[in-house]
Amino acid sequence: MSAPNLVQVSRMRTLATTIHDAAAQMEKVLLEHHQPLPSFDEDSPVALPEAALAFQSAAIGATAELHDLLLDPLDLLYQKSSHYHFTSLQFIARFHVASMIPAGGKTSYAEIAQKTGLQESMVRRLLRHAMTMRIFHEPEPGMVAHTQASKLLVTPEKNAWFWFHPEVGWPASVQVCNKRAEWEDQVLLFEYISSTNTDYLLLVVVVQYLEATQKWPESQEANETGFSLAGHSGKSIYDVFSADPEHALRFSLAMDTFGELPQYQMSKVVEGYDWASLGRAKIVDVGGSAGQMCVAMARSFPALNFVVQDMASLVAKGQANLPPELEGRVQFMAHDFFGEQTVRAEAYLLRTVFHNWSDKYCLQILRALAPALQHGARILINDVCLPKPGSIPAHMELDMRNLDLLMGTIFNAQERDLNEWVQLLAKADPRFVFQRLVQLKGSALAIIEVLWVDNA
């Protein structure tokens, strides 16, 4: 192990000291001016006295640098490249949501949905995303109230200023750098991750998300999305992939990189669940790509055997790269998870499968498992379980809610909270019985543990 970078350690401490000292000075100034301390409450002051501005600037600069310094480099790139906050901001401004909430009071998601014409579930997703940025808050389940920032948007001029950025300003500014007006002819946005068109293509898809939810408010189809409206002639991302395997491969590579982010690494799954408790068991990894997860688990848990199921090209790749010492313990099988499951096993793993699909198709995936399930079989869903608003640090919650909007924008799918997972399972079949939620340490993903209970 190399020695610690003392320059970086010193920088961390310098920044922390700057934040501490600046905060102390701001408190002193505010007390001398008989002003309350900063907060997100809707009635808190909107500006600091002039004597505190230099300390404010020092604290903000140091906190921003310290935040970026502590991120992994890949996570830093990921955080800086997200445009999904424009979706919730656009919704708030377009529908004048702030004016629907009384000062000092609260309004339900259902009332806002009725006034905007969108589904309540969509309103809830969009506003909970905005809440991670301190715009509105949820004082009790199902209710929305103002913060200091959202209350400003009640006035028409502030709302108009807020509307300008996602609707006009940002698309116009990135268009200046878009040297190819025929961007619509491009097939897949992920191909252009490092091109000059990236920001524009992503922004167009994000902005079209709200258009899609207004055009198809009840839709669960993957070809009725922001992606479909953004120059893809009504096609779903799956249509695009099936027409061009090269683009599908590039998407797969992009998702492999996504999986390298600390909060999505598969090592968290291997280490964070009691796999040994399964004993000598067979696990079917449904939608398991080329088997990377099963290879890692097979090395750590010698009592377990695995069957990896996915499209033929992926399982062929997995078979070709399988370490010789795991021959016989990790098998590969071409399988469509919408088709009837034929392999009987003690457990079935579905890792980041359901968040790509709307409830309509998730029900099909779950029901397709049923023919092979024996009483006591475990279904282990490794996916995001959205937290209760404000229950985890805001930057972590924002990351998860960004992912939720990404799923809606491109797939007409969603991330789910625990109540939504339990409802989905019950609707698929009452024999899917929720057991527990295992939130994996250091991961944005959880394991939803389900038991197949068939007393017939």
Tell me the CA end-to-end span of the chain in Å, nearest whole number.
58
Our CA dihedral for 409, 411, 416, 419, rounded to 10 degrees, sits at: 110
Q: Are 386 and 400 in contact (CB under 8 A)?
A: yes
Q: Does residue 413 come out as left (phi exceeding 0), alpha (psi in the -120 to 50 range) or beta?
A: beta
DSSP string covering 140-152: STTEEB--HHHHH
Listed residue (243, 275, 237) closest to 413, CA to CA: 237
Task: Count Cβ atoms within 10 A of the Cβ of residue 216 and give its class: 0-12 exposed, 13-18 middle, 19 or more buried.
Answer: middle
The DSSP secondary-structure symbol of 137 reads B
Give the contacts of 82 (CB within 8 A, at least 6 positions apart). Answer: 402
Residues paired with 327 in a beta bridge: none
Apex CA 187: angle with CA 182 and CA 193, to 5°? 90
- Point out the residues that are catalytic: 355
Task: Count Cβ atoms within 10 A of the Cβ of residue 315 and give its class: 0-12 exposed, 13-18 middle, 19 or more buried.
Answer: buried
Instruction: Please tell me the distance from the alpha carbon of residue 227 to that of residue 252, in angstroms, as a whole number.
Output: 17
Q: How many residues are recorded in the chain?
A: 456
Instruction: Please tell me the distance from the alpha carbon of residue 113 to that of residue 121, in angstroms, as a whole number.
Output: 9
Q: Are 92 and 214 in contact (CB under 8 A)?
A: no
Give the contacts of 343 (CB within 8 A, at least 6 positions apart). Answer: 282, 284, 307, 309, 333, 372
Q: Are 63 and 18 in contact (CB under 8 A)?
A: no
What is the number of alpha carbons within 13 Å of residue 425 lying toward its C-beta? 23
| Kind of pairing between the strands at 445-452 and 378-386 | antiparallel
